């Protein structure tokens, strides 16, 4: 990236804030009955909340939080279906690493095409580069993914912002 190109879209924190605005806009459309896809927007939100901030090291401070700490703060539960035996998913950093890889490499599977967020579960799969076999897998309801996205937004803004 050129040093000369400076605008707020290039800042991970501002990108996360814009992600929040888009998610809220889609949710308003759902309430009005517009033909929008909230689950699709939640998936796209992972780019703004996980991929870009993680790649720019904005999530380093919050990555050390343990999964137990998150659950104590009423974060939604990811059901870990398959875990890496060498590195158990015990921190937000581990979870974000897997979410980043899955989002970037097409490892997201949906159980339904329903526009109703209550009907959809997302399975997230992570594979090692060049290996077809999944070594990490988790699932979350779309409703819980929504809560996860908002909690992560709040955490990013309160810690980084």
Output the DSSP codes for 68-119: HHHHHTTPPPPEEEE--TTS---BHHHHHHHHHHHHHTT-EEES---S-GGG
Q: Which residues contact 13 (CB under 8 A, 6 or more apart)?
A: 53, 58, 156, 157, 160, 161
- Number of domains forming the structure of the chain: 1
In a domain, 2, yes or no: no
- Of 4-13, 38-47, 56-65, 125-134, the one with minimum mean pLDDT is 4-13
Tell me the whole-structure pTM to 2 decimals.
Answer: 0.87
Distance CA 125, CA 132 (A): 11
DSSP state of 48: I
pLDDT digits (tens, 9 = 90+) for 115-137: 999 999 999 999 988 888 999 99
**Structural domain includes residue 3:** no
In a domain, 38, yes or no: yes
Per residue in 61-92, pLDDT (tens digit) is 778 889 999 999 999 999 999 998 888 999 99
**Domain annotation covers residue 141:** yes
Q: What is the mean pLDDT of the chain?
A: 87
Tell me, yes or no, whether 69 lies in a domain: yes
Residue 1 lies in a domain: no
Residue 140 lies in a domain: yes
- Residues comprising the chain, all counted: 161
* CA-to-CA separations, 161 to 12, 14, 34, 63, in angstroms, rounded: 10, 9, 33, 15
């Amino acid at each position: 990236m050129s040093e000369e190109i400076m605008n707020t879209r290039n800042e991970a924190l501002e990108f996360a804030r814009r992600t929040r605005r888009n998610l809220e806009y889609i949710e308003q459309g759902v309430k009005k009955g517009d033909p929008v896809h909230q689950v699709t927007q939640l998936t796209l939100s992972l780019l703004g909340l996980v991929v870009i901030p993680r790649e720019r090291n904005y999530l380093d401070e919050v990555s050390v939080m343990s999964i137990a700490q998150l659950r104590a703060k009423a974060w939604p539960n990811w059901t870990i279906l398959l875990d890496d035996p060498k590195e158990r998913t015990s921190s937000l950093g581990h979870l974000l690493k897997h979410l980043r890889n899955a989002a970037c490499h097409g490892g997201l599977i949906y159980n339904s095409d329903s526009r109703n967020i209550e009907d959809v579960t997302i399975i997230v799969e992570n594979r090692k580069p060049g290996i077809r076999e999944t070594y990490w897998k988790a699932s979350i309801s779309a409703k819980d993914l929504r809560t996860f996205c908002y909690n992560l937004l709040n955490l990013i803004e309160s810690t980084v912002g």
